């Protein structure tokens, strides 16, 4: 069966009678052109993020979410990249809803994007969705070719991070 992205009927037997249901084949996009270290995408993953009111907005407290099975694709080779995403934040008025965060992170599965770009993209999208008092996104990537990468992006950047505070 060819993956065309169109609605198709699946045939049941040699008499070519279709099932009573239709199947929508998913479209996979691996465009050739890159922008800012990432391949263009069909839909905006940020639209998947949902928030709810912070039940304790007057108090500073930390929320930490860990996604140990994050996957994306290398934009140069198309090979899968496996890693862990850690999101830690101090909420202000809203918190991110967990199922929407899971679906958002899964939306990167077939996207060709560099480690640095995806880490900063997650930070930017979460900032836009919930505007927390503090946000850290850390990605820890499975070693490839003997190299292991850890990328951290924070908002706001702590004064003591570069030794000047």
- Count of CB atoms within 10 A of residue 40's CB? 12
Residue 5 has what DSSP assignment?
S
Spot the catalytic one: 81, 95, 161, 162. 81
Helix runs in the chain, H state only: 98-106, 115-130
For residue 81, indicate whether it is catalytic.
yes
Confirm if 102 and 141 have CB atoms less than 8 A apart.
no
For residue 3, indicate whether it is catalytic.
no
Spot the catalytic one: 9, 44, 60, 74. 74
Q: Output phi, psi for 62, to 5 deg.
A: -105, 135
CA distance 30 to 148: 25
Torsion angle, alpha carbons of 8, 43, 152, 38, to 10: 80
Q: Which residues are catalytically annotated?
A: 74, 81
């Amino acid at each position: 069966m060819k993956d065309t992205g169109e609605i198709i009927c699946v045939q049941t037997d040699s008499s070519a009678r279709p099932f009573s249901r239709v199947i929508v084949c998913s479209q996979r996009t691996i465009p050739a052109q890159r922008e800012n270290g990432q391949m263009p995408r069909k839909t905006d993953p940020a639209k998947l993020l949902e928030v709810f009111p912070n039940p304790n907005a007057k108090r500073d407290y930390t929320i930490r979410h860990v996604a140990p099975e994050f996957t994306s694709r290398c934009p140069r080779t198309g090979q899968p990249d496996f890693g862990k995403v850690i999101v830690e934040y101090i909420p202000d008025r809203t918190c991110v809803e967990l199922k929407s965060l899971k679906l958002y992170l899964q939306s990167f599965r077939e996207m060709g994007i560099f480690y640095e770009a995806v880490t900063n993209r997650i930070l930017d999208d979460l900032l836009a969705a919930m505007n927390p008092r503090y946000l850290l996104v850390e990605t820890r990537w499975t070693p490839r070719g003997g190299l292991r990468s850890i990328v951290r992006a924070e908002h706001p950047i702590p004064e003591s991070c570069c030794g000047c505070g």
